[in-house]
């Protein structure tokens, strides 16, 4: 490896920023694509579901393969591949090709997440795994937060066919990864004798309960990040204000991602997870009881995002400790499977909203958040490093 461990972790976090930046193009592009390809709302919803499945639920599968086979070479082409798939949608003329390209974009996301996080964990200094995960998670949150702003500004000045210009940053990142030597750093975790078999991983109480706890947390997070703009527009706020408040929430997520893992290294990862989950309840509930642009509501929304994500870096460290020799699969579970489970919960929230209103339905997402505290508290924390 040609870079220092600290520089390599920052580079991997930058790759995560780029990865999640491209991942979040679809919500902004959808209103432009729908009339062009005559997509119905049903097909649009199916397109979003395909993106969610390939970008989230496939992560543990990629992680499992990376723990057993040297696949770090994927680090070089994976970002340009995903960028190419999403940035060429303006040239697609059929619905079938659109679905294929969106699915491939999601697969590039699923490939990078366990690869980047497992490499970050391996090269982090002893006792600094939480800080490494914080930087890595924060990079993704920053990229995800600013993608809508960039795409809105871009599409206001350029046609959809000009999107390939945005592939260029991924090519720069590809060159940096090639120069760093990280693509030659083995992803295989320990030896076969040290690795837990798949059946033991799936029956591990710590792994199962932690996935459930993080899935319940993601139910709240995915619901807020998906439906917050729609709720605000329905309440009479402009799209600009709605988008700005979503960015505020995601900025809070970025702060939580930066600080959560470092605090876990210092005070204990389980303790920080429990504290973050518990602290997220009040600001989340307060905002949806007083949704709007009042200063206290804005602070509550920011804190909601910060506390909701503060538990994620520590959850990755926890899962990697619970799954020795399977760091890639552990990362895939915490960064993919949990969000996939959260997406299923968000779909239920949308169904409930049809009957009781979106604001009330979002307020009710504090219930799975409360449950996540109890599930996490009942989850045994592994002592093995």
Q: Is residue 194 scored above 70 in pLDDT?
A: no
The mean of the pLDDT values for the chain is: 85
**Is the model more confident about 354 or about 299?**
299
Q: Domains in the chain, please, with CATH?
A: 5-377 (1.20.1250.20)
In this predicted model, what pLDDT tens digit does every residue of 310-346 receive, in sequence order? 998 888 888 888 887 777 788 788 878 888 888 788 8
The string of DSSP letters for 36-53 reads: HHT--HHHHHHHHHHHHI
What's the confidence (pLDDT) of residue 57?
A: 83
The string of DSSP letters for 227-243 reads: HHHHHHHHTT--HHHHH
Q: Is residue 43 scored above 70 in pLDDT?
A: yes
In whole angstroms, give the CA distance from residue 22 to residue 67. Answer: 26
In whole angstroms, give the CA distance from residue 147 to residue 84. Answer: 16
Buried b / exposed e along 307-330 (16+ C-beta atoms within 10 A): bbbbbbbbbbbbbbbbbbbbbbbb
DSSP 8-state class, residue 304: H
Q: Is residue 191 scored above 60 in pLDDT?
A: no
Cβ pair 224, 362 in contact under 8 A: yes
- In this prediction, residue 384 has a pLDDT band, given cuts at 50, 70 and 90, of low
> Dihedral sign, CA of 18, 23, 24, 28?
positive
For the residues 163-180, what does the mean pLDDT come to? 94
Q: What percent of the chain has pLDDT over 70?
A: 92
For the residues 99-104, what does the mean pLDDT come to? 93
Q: Is residue 142 scored above 70 in pLDDT?
A: yes
Q: Is residue 217 scored above 60 in pLDDT?
A: yes
What's the confidence (pLDDT) of residue 208?
A: 85
**Is the model more confident about 371 or about 229?**
371
Residue with tokens 């600009």: 240
What's the confidence (pLDDT) of residue 58?
A: 87
What token pair was written down for 375?
Answer: 């599930």
Q: What percent of the chain has pLDDT over 90?
A: 34
What token pair was written down for 186?
Answer: 């083995």
Residue with tokens 């920011």: 302
- In this prediction, residue 298 has a pLDDT band, given cuts at 50, 70 and 90, of very high
What token pair was written down for 358?
Answer: 């979106």
In whole angstroms, give the CA distance from residue 212 to residue 300. Answer: 26
User: Which of 36-40, 80-84, 310-314 holds the top average pLDDT?
Assistant: 80-84
State the pTM of this model: 0.77
What's the confidence (pLDDT) of residue 128?
A: 66
In this predicted model, what pLDDT tens digit does every residue of 249-297 receive, in sequence order? 988 988 888 888 788 888 888 999 999 999 999 999 999 999 999 999 9
Question: Of the candidates 147, 86, 78, which has an alpha carbon nearest to the alpha carbon of residue 114?
Answer: 78
Cβ pair 160, 29 in contact under 8 A: yes
Cβ pair 108, 82 in contact under 8 A: yes
What's the confidence (pLDDT) of residue 244?
A: 82
């Amino acid at each position: 490896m040609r870079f220092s461990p600290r520089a390599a972790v920052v580079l991997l976090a930058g790759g995560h920023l780029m990865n999640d930046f491209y991942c979040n193009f679809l919500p902004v592009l959808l209103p432009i694509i729908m009339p062009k390809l005559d997509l119905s709302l049903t097909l649009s919803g199916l397109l979003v579901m395909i993106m969610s499945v390939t970008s989230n639920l496939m992560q543990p599968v990629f992680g499992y393969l990376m723990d057993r086979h040297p696949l770090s070479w994927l680090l070089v082409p994976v970002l340009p591949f995903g960028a190419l798939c999403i940035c060429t949608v303006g040239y697609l003329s059929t619905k079938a090709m659109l679905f294929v390209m969106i699915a491939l974009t999601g697969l590039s996301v699923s490939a990078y997440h366990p690869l980047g996080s497992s490499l970050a964990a391996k090269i982090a200094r002893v006792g600094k795994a939480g800080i490494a995960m914080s930087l890595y998670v924060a990079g993704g949150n920053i990229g995800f937060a600013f993608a809508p702003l960039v795409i809105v500004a871009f599409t206001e000045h350029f046609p959809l066919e000009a999107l390939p210009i945005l592939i260029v940053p991924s090519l720069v990142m590809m060159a940096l990864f090639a120069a760093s030597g990280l693509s030659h750093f083995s992803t295989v975790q320990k030896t076969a004798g040290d690795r837990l078999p798949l059946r033991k991983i799936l029956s591990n109480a710590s792994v199962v309960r932690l996935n459930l706890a993080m899935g319940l947390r993601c139910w709240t997070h995915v619901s807020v990040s998906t439906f917050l703009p729609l709720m605000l527009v329905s309440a009479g706020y402009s799209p600009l204000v709605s988008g700005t408040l979503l960015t505020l929430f995601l900025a809070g997520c970025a702060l939580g991602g930066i600080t959560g893992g470092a605090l876990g290294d210092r005070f204990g990862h389980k303790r920080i997870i429990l504290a973050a989950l518990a602290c997220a309840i009040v600001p989340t509930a307060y905002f949806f009881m007083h949704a709007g642009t009042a200063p206290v509501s804005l602070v509550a929304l920011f804190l909601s995002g910060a506390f909701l994500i503060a538990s994620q870096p520590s959850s990755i460290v926890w899962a990697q400790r619970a799954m020795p020799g399977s760091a890639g699969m552990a990362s895939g579970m915490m960064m993919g499977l949990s969000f996939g489970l959260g997406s299923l919960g968000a779909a239920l929230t949308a169904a409930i909203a049809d009957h009781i209103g979106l604001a009330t339905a979002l307020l009710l997402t504090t219930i799975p958040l409360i449950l996540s505290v109890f599930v996490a508290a009942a989850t045994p924390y592994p002592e093995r490093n």
